[in-house]
Structure 1
Amino acid sequence: MFLTHRKPYMKMRWVHCARVERPTILRLAVKYQLHPLPVEDTIQLEQQLVPMVRKYNDNFFVVIPLLRLTEEAKRKLDGYKEIRRHRHDSDWQLEELIEVPQVEQCRFAAFAAGPPHYDTE
């Protein structure tokens, strides 16, 4: 669990969070002594329109806009995979079913902490 101490032999800790709520972000901010400005930027991540790299004391904060499949496109892709799994004729091509994928923009945010605050006491 990310709220325990990092083991001494580990050089870093990766905490992956997807679609987290404000209380979880705030818990991580307290645990890792994160600067309040990038924490607020993380809470309002969908408003960050451009890539960004900022340094706060010994910590870096990065925001990267990304593209991902929409939920509908993911469902269609899963359906194509299921059809392909059940089709056995050699003439069938996956391309017959594929349409232009629907994508949406999302954001990726990362904190990189430097020494001595890799972990809290």
Structure 2
Amino acid sequence: EEGIARIKDLTGGVGADSVLECVGTGESFDQALACSRPGGTIGYVGVPHGVSFDGQKLFFGQKRMLGGPAPVRRFLPDLMDRVLKGKIKPGKVFDLQLPLADVAEGYRAMDERRAIKVLLAVDARANSRTA
């Protein structure tokens, strides 16, 4: 609710032109519908198995929904090059950083909603608990 209200506030009560849904749950689809403006577009990646949402909100809101797989392998080499050269700083996306040995804790944190995105550090020097 807070995120929806913030987006509505930032857009003068209208909603966003485009919303990208990357979680794949019924709740996240409902939030995407609520955040988008009439006539807006909701994009999603991945395959949301067993997810249902109110199709009437899509229809009567005159909204579009587009989906498809994320071609990670196509973009990964260029993306990693940019990250390693410091052209892209992914740290703002991650809210928890853990050493690779704590990968199970990272999954637990996401499952328990204590973290949204976890950065696993392969480096032995990485012992920070926040990104």
| TM-score normalised according to structure 2 size | 0.27
| TM-score normalised according to structure 1 size | 0.28
Higher helix share: 2
Q: Look at both structures and tell me which one has the larger radius of gyration over its CA atoms.
A: 1
